[in-house]
Structure formats: C-alpha cells, structure tokens
Amino acid sequence: MTLVLDTTSTHLPFDIARIRRDFPILKREVAPGVPLVYLDNAATSQRPVQVIASITRYYRDHNANIHRGVHTLSVESTDMYEGERAKIAQFINAPDAREIIFTRNTTESINLVAHAWGRKFLQAGDEVVLSEIEHHSNIVPWQMLRDERGIVLRFIPMLPDGTLDLDEARRLIGPKTKLLSVTAMSNALGSIVPLTDLIAMAKAEGATVLVDGAQSVPHMAVDVQALGIDFLAFSGHKMLGPNGIGVLWGRLDLLDAMDPFMGGGDMILTVTLDRSTWADVPAKFEAGTPDISGAIGLGVAVDYLAALGMDAIRKHEIEITDYALRRLADVPGLSIFGRPNAQERGGVISFELEGIHPHDVGQVLDTHGVAIRTGHHCAQPVMAALNVPATARASFYLYNTTEEVDALVDALEQTNAFFGTGR
Ligand code: PLP
C-alpha cells in the first residue's frame, strides 16, 4: 500500500526528472526488466554526465603533468587543477585556497592530520576525544598514534537512539583534551552530531577540532568559518565526484606549522644529498603527481551541487527520508535504528527485519533491483553498542524519488514473503 503524502517527486525542491537524466547509470537494469533502484549513496554516490565528460575532456584535450611545466598543456593542466582548489575553498567557505589539500579520500585526510599534526603536537598523556559513532577511518589512525606516542583516547558514548551523550561529552572534554575529532553525521545510523555544542566545549579548553565531513559535505551546507573548526576531511566520491580524490581543509597557520606527511617530488623547495627543505602549503602536503583529472571532476561535481543549492539538497533529503521513515514503519517485522524524525538525521536509514539476517535482506532486495548496503558499515563500535552484528542500510541522495522508496518497501514485503515469515 502506498501512502498518499504531499512529498511526491513533483513537490520536491527541484526537478528530479531533469536531474535523473544527468545520471545515465540510473537508467540501467540489473537484470532484464529489473530497473536499478540505487539506495547505497552513503557508500558512494553516482556521477552525472557533466563529471564523467570533464574527465574524458581533460585526458582528450589537456593531459600533462602539472607545476613547473613550460609547455601549453602543462600550463593548462596546472591552471585547471589549481582553479578547482579555489572553487572547493569557496564551497566550504574556506578563507584561502591554499588551505585545500588534495588527498585520496577522507581516510587519507584524517591520516594526514594524525601524522603531520598529531606527531608534531601531541605528547604522551595528551587526550584526543572521539565518539563511539565514528567510521573506522576516524578511530584507527588515532589508535595507531596512541600505540606509538602514548596519547589517550576518550570516546563520547552513543545513546540508544544513536545520538551522542552530551553530558558525558561535557565530562570528557577538559584541560587535557588537545583534539576533538568527530564526524558531522553517522554513516551507520544517519545521526546528525550537535557540532556546535561539541566545538564550543572543545574550544573552551583550547583544543583543536577536526570534523569528518564525509557524510555532511555532500548533503548539507558546510561553512568551516561559521563552525569555527580547524580541519575538515571529505571524499569526492560521495559527492558526485570521481573516486580517488578527497580533501583536507586546514587552517593555514596550522598547516604551515606542520611537517610533511609524505616526502618526494613537488613537496620540496630544495634537495641536496644531505637534506631537503619544504615547499609552502598546499604543495608541502601533495607529494608526487596528484590525481589531476580527479580534482577537475570534483570541481565539476561542486559546480553541480552548488547550482542545485545545498539547502535545497538537504530539504529534498529530509522529505525523502521522512517519507521513507513513514512507509518503512508499516513493513511487518521491520525496526529502524536511530531517531524517528527526519529533521534530526541525514538521508540514511539503518534497519533490521526480524528473523532475517541483513545480508539475506540485501540479497533478496538485489533481485528486485534495490541496491542497499548490509554489514557493519565500517562502524563496528556502533554495531557493538546496538548489540547487533550488522544492519541493513538504505541511503538517499539528490536523485532519489519517493517511487524508489516505494520500490524498497515492496521489495522488503517480498523479502518477508520469500522467507515465509508469515508476516
Ligand atoms: N567517515 C565517514 C563518516 C564515512 O561515511 C566514510 C565512508 O563511508 C569515511 C569516513 C571514509 O571515507 P573514504 O572511504 O572515502 O575514505
């Protein structure tokens, strides 16, 4: 049964049909007569033709290595690559394009901070505050640094509804806290983290703040100056951009004070057989030939998002998520993890179907063309806190429609029937 809501595609904040025409993959079938319903956007987004074409165009018309080249193609490639840096700075309201460091992904961006900032500024006994809902990429680098340097890790606990325990955060963040490193949104549950409160607590103690923006930068307006943070990490592939390109934004004074992460070409000023000196930021942190076409593709992705407007994208996701929460509530045996209200979460819904393993749910949904993710979502501590081995997760983006939510619900009802649950 389909609910009649005023959130049908035609009422959504932009023209979904037009947007979907930009994403050729959304027209494909996963088997004859079985159209794809792509609901795995928290893992990676799809790419519009504009991004795909920009990469082809770059290799077809401009390809050359960047920086120091005197020939036309090298100058063009350098200008394109550096131009994207400025565009991305504007997208997150960074005051200076030199603060944008191109990395491979969020994981590399966080590792860069752990190596280059952590090894320089943290000593044994210093405390780094994380949360229980972090992706492994914001836990493991700090554990590695703890084992090497003797820093102390503190974790803000998750409450049963998937939000963070702010009273406990207030207790944990104190004079020994040198870094608060938290996600803006849980990829496993969709919980939106109250960054303003946490940042205020950390800043009152003089701590540095890193935000893992892997799930926020693609889905809502993020302003690093308004947030008052020091580092922001995010990945191109979750925001319509290519794989293999990510961003670390850092405050210029901090980046200037840090030593390099990797050594090699492009990050030096001088090299003798005896010693080397470093280039200025951002080159200091971009050793070797970077992913030039990736940066160009990411720039086009940012243009695409900016043209739609991040507030409109967020509004669309709230509407889709609200519709999905209401429809899923009617599926027999289904329970949803996290907050019940779409305003308090991102477009991510983790759920379980009683008596059916999430992997089996995912496999049956795939036979209906519905692509979701099942497993621990690289957030094993969240699974441990929920006391489940895995969840099934549907996640939405700007091109998803209420009809696709209906397809998910129908496929879940078929899953119940397939397993003969009698529901
Ligand atoms: N942080 C969060 C919150 C994520 O959702 C992800 C990916 O799912 C990551 C970090 C890691 O991103 P990547 O694999 O692009 O480095």
According to DSSP, residue 116 is labeled I
The rounded distance, in Å, linking the Cα atoms of 351 and 189 is 9
The rounded distance, in Å, linking the Cα atoms of 263 and 249 is 20
- For ligand 1, what atom is nearest to the CA of residue 106? 16
CA of 229 to the centre of ligand 1 (A): 19
334-383 tens-digit pLDDT: 999 999 999 999 999 999 999 999 999 999 999 999 999 999 999 999 99
Q: Provide the β-strand partners of residue 348.
A: 395
Nearest to 349 by CA among 387, 380, 318: 318
Question: Strands, E, within 82-126: which ranges?
Answer: 100-103
Cα of 174 vs its chain's centroid, Å: 28
The rounded distance, in Å, linking the Cα atoms of 370 and 390 is 18
Residue nearest to ligand 1 atom 12, measured at CA? 106
Tokens 């519709």, located at residue: 323
According to DSSP, residue 356 is labeled B
| 208 Cβ below 6 A of ligand 1 | no
Each domain of the chain, given as residue ranges in start order, spans 16-44+309-418, 51-307
CA of 135 to the centre of ligand 1 (A): 6
Nearest to 180 by CA among 162, 160, 204, 150: 204
| 183 Cβ below 6 A of ligand 1 | yes
Q: Which residues of 317-326 are buried (b: 16+ CB within 10 A; e: fewer)?
A: bbbbbbbbbe
Q: For the chain, what percent of residues have pLDDT higher than 70?
A: 97
Mean pLDDT within 396-404: 98
Tell me yes or no: is domain 51-307 CATH 3.40.640.10: yes
The rounded distance, in Å, linking the Cα atoms of 233 and 221 is 14
| 137 Cβ below 6 A of ligand 1 | yes
| 163 Cβ below 6 A of ligand 1 | no
Q: Kindly give, in sequence order, each residue whose CB lies less than 8 Å from that of residue 420, ignoring residues fewer than 6 positions away.
A: none
56-71 tens-digit pLDDT: 999 999 999 999 889 9
Domain 16-44+309-418: give its CATH superfamily.
Answer: Aspartate Aminotransferase, domain 1 (3.90.1150.10)
CA of 232 to the centre of ligand 1 (A): 13
Mean pLDDT within 108-122: 98
Task: Reply yes or no on whether the pLDDT at 12 is more than 70.
Answer: no
Nearest to 210 by CA among 281, 126, 118: 118
The rounded distance, in Å, linking the Cα atoms of 240 and 45 is 6
Mean pLDDT over the full length of the chain: 95
Nearest to 203 by CA among 181, 235, 184, 229: 229
Q: Which of 102, 105, 189, 235 to mutate to test the pocket of ligand 1 (most atoms within 8 A of CB)?
A: 235
The rounded distance, in Å, linking the Cα atoms of 195 and 173 is 14
Q: Which residues are catalytic?
A: 378
Q: How would residue 11 be classed by pLDDT, with cut points 50, 70 and 90?
A: low
- For ligand 1, what atom is nearest to the CA of residue 246? 15
The rounded distance, in Å, linking the Cα atoms of 29 and 367 is 11
Residue 161 phi/psi, 5° resolution? -90, 10
307-332 tens-digit pLDDT: 999 999 999 999 999 999 999 999 99
| 368 Cβ below 6 A of ligand 1 | no
> Which H helix or E strand runs over 213?
none
Do 16-44+309-418 and 51-307 show the same overall fold?
A: no
- For ligand 1, what atom is nearest to the CA of residue 377? 8
CA of 282 to the centre of ligand 1 (A): 22
Please give the torsion angle defined by the CA atoms of residues 266, 283, 218 and 134, in that order, rounded to the nearest 10 degrees.
90
Task: Reply yes or no on whether the pLDDT at 421 is more than 90.
Answer: no
Whole-prediction pTM: 0.96
Residue 414 phi/psi, 5° resolution? -65, -35
| 395 Cβ below 6 A of ligand 1 | no
CA of 421 to the centre of ligand 1 (A): 35
Q: Is 242 left (phi over 0), alpha (psi -120 to 50) or beta?
A: beta
CA of 403 to the centre of ligand 1 (A): 28
- Number of other residues whose CB lies within 10 A of the CB of residue 227: 18
Q: How would residue 13 be classed by pLDDT, with cut points 50, 70 and 90?
A: confident
- For ligand 1, what atom is nearest to the CA of residue 104? 16
Structure tokens at 283: 């080159």
